[in-house]
Amino acid sequence: MEHTDQILEGTIIKGYSGFYYVSCEGVLYECSLRGKNRQKKVKFLPGDRVRFRIAEGTAGGAIEEVLPRRNELLRPPVANLDQLVILVAVYDPLPDLRLIDRLTVFAQWNQIRPVICFNKCDLVSAEEQRRLQEIYRPAGFPVYLCSTVTGQGIDALRECLHGRFSVLAGNSGVGKSSMMNAISDQWQLATGEISDKLKRGRHTTRHVELFQLDADTLIADTPGFSSLQLPEDIKREELCRLFPEFLCRLGDCRFATCLHNSEPDCAIKEAVERGEIPQSRYENYLAFLEEVIQQERSY
Ligand SMILES: Nc1nc2c(ncn2[C@@H]2O[C@H](COP(=O)(O)OP(=O)(O)OP(=O)(O)O)[C@@H](O)[C@H]2O)c(=O)[nH]1
Ligand SMILES: [Mg+2]
Ligand SMILES: [Zn+2]
């Protein structure tokens, strides 16, 4: 009898005690590593595209090779992300604009599209929602105004997730797990009350797990991202390129080496004064510039 093996291509959803679960056209295959991959200690990450072999008459497969990664994060350990959905509560806890900007810098440095989602919009006025949304208009980041309580914005966000691999990042208590539950009722993740005493979330979610909304939509709900350091290899003159609303103005500064800090005739500072670049974005740029310079010095 002739044995014909089938080679398929799929995406790793999770690794679990020596096995990898690979999704391909809506079917989940349990795969082991082949000898050479096991020996070489090749690292496989959720999100990795792999080729795997299915022996005829069996349901399980063996991973043959991992295809080149578009990007790779260390924390959470995932590969081939399309977008970083930055989830922020408009209230309780109050939005941390510096964390938003830190995450947008981080995303763009890794060629990941940043998406900002304001949650708990039921707790503030429409005016306050608009004020927050406007901060990111000049940068061109997509902004979603949502509430898992009223259902506001949930359909639009689901649409934005569709067909992509997203990580949902945000401080504890902003509603990441509630948002996952609102997006689909198939998960029923545990959500926690914010401790009244500390007004801090309790980190109800402790590990990274990939959720599959449909055949080609993946979402990772992660524990807080709040202590994120800026990527260590950013150089001071590269930072401004990670603020999209600065880009078209960079040629207008008097000095080609302008860091948009204390230099005269700086087109960025002038745009801030005219209100074309939001104050908070510029202040966070300056804070990150300081951090990047400190990091450069410590090497
Ligand atoms: N008012 C209001 N409360 C919300 C909304 N979404 C979530 N909450 C509440 O916010 C609290 C925190 O929600 P979670 O979904 O547990 O937050 P989380 O981001 O997953 O928290 P960690 O797992 O600790 O990182 C819970 O008490 C939720 O009921 C919303 O849209 N409006
Ligand atoms: Mg959670
Ligand atoms: Zn300048």
Ligand 1 atom at minimum distance from 147 CA = 31
pLDDT of residue 198: 44
Q: Residue 26 corresponds to which tokens in the numbers above?
A: 């809506």
pLDDT of residue 152: 98
Q: At what angle do helices 97-109 and 279-297 cross, to 10 degrees?
A: 60
The lowest-confidence range among 132-136, 219-223, 240-244 is: 219-223
Pocket probe mutation, ligand 1, options 191, 195, 205, 225, max atoms within 8 Å of Cβ? 191
Q: Which residue has the tokens 């804070």?
A: 287
pLDDT of residue 2: 59
Kindly report the three-state secondary structure assignment for every residue of 132-174.
HHHHCCCCCCCEEECCCCCCCCHHHHHHHHCCCEEEEECCCCC
- Whether cis (ω within 30° of 0) applies to the bond prior to 93 is yes
The pLDDT of residue 159 is above 90: yes
What order of strands is seen across the sheet that includes strand 165-169? Answer: 143-145, 113-119, 83-89, 165-169, 217-221, 209-214
pLDDT of residue 195: 42
| Number of other CB atoms surrounding residue 295 within 10 Å | 17
* Mean pLDDT value across residues 133-143: 98
pLDDT of residue 201: 44
pLDDT of residue 196: 44
The lowest-confidence range among 20-24, 175-179, 203-207, 213-217 is: 203-207
| Closest residue by Cα to residue 223 from 186, 187, 174, 181 | 174
CA of residue 80 relative to chain centroid, distance: 11
* Mean pLDDT value across residues 209-221: 85
| Closest residue by Cα to residue 176 from 211, 143, 124 | 211
CA 112 – CA 219 distance, rounded (Å): 14
| Proportion of the chain above pLDDT 90, given as a percent | 68
Contact between 170 and 179 (Cβ < 8 Å): no
Q: What is the pLDDT of residues 148-157, one digit of tens each?
A: 999 999 999 9
Q: What is the pLDDT of residues 73-124, one digit of tens each?
A: 877 788 999 999 999 999 999 999 999 999 999 999 999 999 999 999 999 9
Whole-number Å distance, alpha carbon 271 to ligand 3 midpoint, is: 10
CA 278 – CA 136 distance, rounded (Å): 8
Whole-number Å distance, alpha carbon 66 to ligand 2 midpoint, is: 30
Pocket probe mutation, ligand 1, options 94, 178, 225, max atoms within 8 Å of Cβ? 178
* Mean pLDDT value across residues 214-234: 79
Length of the chain: 299
Specify the pTM: 0.89
Mean pLDDT estimate for the chain: 89
The pLDDT of residue 39 is above 80: no
Domains and CATH numbers, the chain: 6-68 (2.40.50.140), 73-221 (3.40.50.300), 239-297 (1.10.40.50)
pLDDT of residue 14: 85
CA 271 – CA 249 distance, rounded (Å): 9
Ligand 1 atom at minimum distance from 202 CA = 24
CA 109 – CA 106 distance, rounded (Å): 5
- For ligand 3, a single-atom ion, the residues with CB < 5 A are 253, 258, 260, 266, 268
In this prediction, residue 162 has a pLDDT band, given cuts at 50, 70 and 90, of very high
Exposed e or buried b per residue across 112-131, where buried means at least 16 C-beta atoms within 10 angstroms of its C-beta = bbbbbbbbbbeebeeeebee
pLDDT of residue 199: 42
CA 274 – CA 111 distance, rounded (Å): 30
Q: What is the pLDDT of residues 178-187, one digit of tens each?
A: 999 999 998 8
Whole-number Å distance, alpha carbon 138 to ligand 1 midpoint, is: 29
Q: Which residue owns the Cα nearest ligand 1 atom 1?
A: 120
- Amino acid 242 reads L
Name the residue with higher pLDDT: 212 or 130.
Answer: 130
Contact between 90 and 122 (Cβ < 8 Å): no
Whole-number Å distance, alpha carbon 178 to ligand 1 midpoint, is: 5
pLDDT of residue 214: 86
Q: Which residues line ligand 1 (CB under 6 A)?
A: 119-120, 122-123, 147-149, 170, 172-178, 191-194, 201-205, 223-224
Q: At what angle do helices 176-183 and 154-161 cross, to 10 degrees?
A: 80
Q: What is the pLDDT of residues 240-263, one digit of tens each?
A: 999 999 999 999 999 999 999 999
- Amino acid 154 reads I
Bridging pattern class, strands 72-73 and 61-66: unpaired
